[in-house]
Structure 1
Amino acid sequence: MMLPTHAMVGLAVAAPLVVLAPDVVPAALVGALIGSVLPDLDLYAGHRRTLHYPTGYSVAAVPAAAAAALLATPVAVAAAALLVGAALHCRMDRYGGGLELRPWEGTSDRGVYDHVRGRWLAPKRWVAYDGSPGDFLFALALGVPLLVVLDGPFRWVVAAALLVGGAYAALRRRLARLAPTVFGRVPGPVREYVPARYRE
């Protein structure tokens, strides 16, 4: 799924604290947002393997959530929200398309790497691919209520994510056609950092 969708899920998971524990809401939202986008920082270096830990983040999130519930400090809540956001991100990537430039073709059996089992988990394709109409509708379904519930900078983050997600969804297939041309012209020293799928 696309990054804006991951961000919406993280914020949506933390949003109930607006009512339940308003004093830690900013910490929870920041933690959830960071955790929801953190795994994709590996986009150009072993994507869905280097920073994606579908089991590790989930296991770490349980004691972190318990500590956050007991301590109720902003730091504990932010740490728990970060781990929950990262765990959800990695799990969600399994339910989307594979790791290929054109995931709608369904040619990749790599959804996300499971470090515990030491193998790639196949994509389930419940959401056809990142930037698909279904992916954007999912982000929109979460984002619209967040625009109502959240305020201040978090409302702006949601609005920006929905705008970026909508533009990406509208351009996704065109971007796949452009990628080989654009990345084919990258200077030699930089080329080794461009994932092979962008040169297909």
Structure 2
Amino acid sequence: MMLPTHAIAGMLLALPAALAMPEFGSVALGAGFLGGVLPDLDMYVGHRETLHYPVYYAAVGVASLPVTLLIPSATTVGLTALLLAAAAHSVADVFGGGLELRPWEATSRRAVYDHYHGRWIAPRRGVGYDGSPTDLLLTVLLAAPLLAVVGPPYRWLVAGALVVAIVYASVRRTLPTVAEHLVSSLPAWTTPYLPARYRARHAPADE
């Protein structure tokens, strides 16, 4: 799934806490947004492995829930929202495409690395791929309740993420070709430092 989908999903996940504890509403929504974004900071360094933890984020996030309920504070609410949003991101990526440059071709058997079991989880492809029409539809559906409930500045943040999602989805199929042209113009010494999906027309099955 594309980053705006994850960011909006993280905010939606934090919405109940924001409504139940309005004094921490801003913290919850902000942490949900950041947690939705956090795993994809590994985009160019071990993508979906370095910062994607489908088991550990969920375990720690769920364990922190009773602490948050017993001792609500900006720290506990924010940390729990961050962890649960990051867990949702890591798990949701399993239902998208694999790590290949053109995920609609379904050549990769790797979706997200499960550190707990020490293996890659295969992509389910229920949402197609990041930026697919299904992914965009999901983004719109997730954004709708947030736009109806939250106020500024988070309403503008959701609207901005939605605009980014629409633009990204509209050009998604052309991006691999653009990336290949850019990579072909780079000095040869940079090649080993690029993710495999940018070095070949088809990423290897174990990418």
Q: Say whether 1:56 aligns with 2:61.
A: no
Q: Say whether 1:85 aligns with 2:85.
A: yes
Q: Say whether 1:20 aligns with 2:31.
A: no
Aligned to 1:15, the other structure's residue is in SS state helix
Match of 2:197 in 1: 197
Match of 2:174 in 1: 174
Q: Aligned partners of 1:199, 1:53: CA distance in 2, in Å? A: 26
Q: Say whether 1:11 aligns with 2:11.
A: yes
- Greater shift, 186-195 or 50-59, is seen at 186-195
Q: Are residues 145 and 198 of structure 1, via their aligned partners in 2, closer, same or farther at CA, if it must alter by over 3 Å?
A: same
Aligned to 1:50, the other structure's residue is in SS state coil
For residue 189 of structure 1, report the CA deviation from its aligned partner.
Answer: 5.1
Identify unmatched segments of 5+ residues in structure 2. 201-207
Q: Are residues 73 and 98 of structure 1, via their aligned partners in 2, closer, same or farther at CA, if it must alter by over 3 Å?
A: same
TM-score, normalization: structure 1? 0.96
For residue 125 of structure 1, report the CA deviation from its aligned partner.
Answer: 0.5
Q: Say whether 1:117 aligns with 2:110.
A: no
How well do the aligned residues superpose, as a CA RMSD in angstroms?
1.2
The superposition leaves residues 97-127 of structure 1 with CA deviations (integer Å, 9 ceiling, x where unpaired) of 0011100011000010011111100000010
For residue 138 of structure 1, report the CA deviation from its aligned partner.
Answer: 0.2
Amino acid at match of 1:28: A
Identify unmatched segments of 5+ residues in structure 1. none
For residue 199 of structure 1, report the CA deviation from its aligned partner.
Answer: 2.7
For residue 22 of structure 1, report the CA deviation from its aligned partner.
Answer: 0.8
1:64/1:80 contact within 8 Å kept: yes
Query: Which runs of 4 or more aligned residues in structure 1 lie more than 6 Å from their structure 2 counterparts after TM superposition?
Result: none
Aligned residue pairs total 200
For residue 196 of structure 1, report the CA deviation from its aligned partner.
Answer: 1.6
Q: Are residues 23 and 194 of structure 1, via their aligned partners in 2, closer, same or farther at CA, if it must alter by over 3 Å?
A: same
TM-score, normalization: structure 2? 0.93
- Percent identical pairs in the alignment equals 49
Amino acid at match of 1:154: Y
Q: Aligned partners of 1:79, 1:167: CA distance in 2, in Å? A: 31
For residue 184 of structure 1, report the CA deviation from its aligned partner.
Answer: 2.0
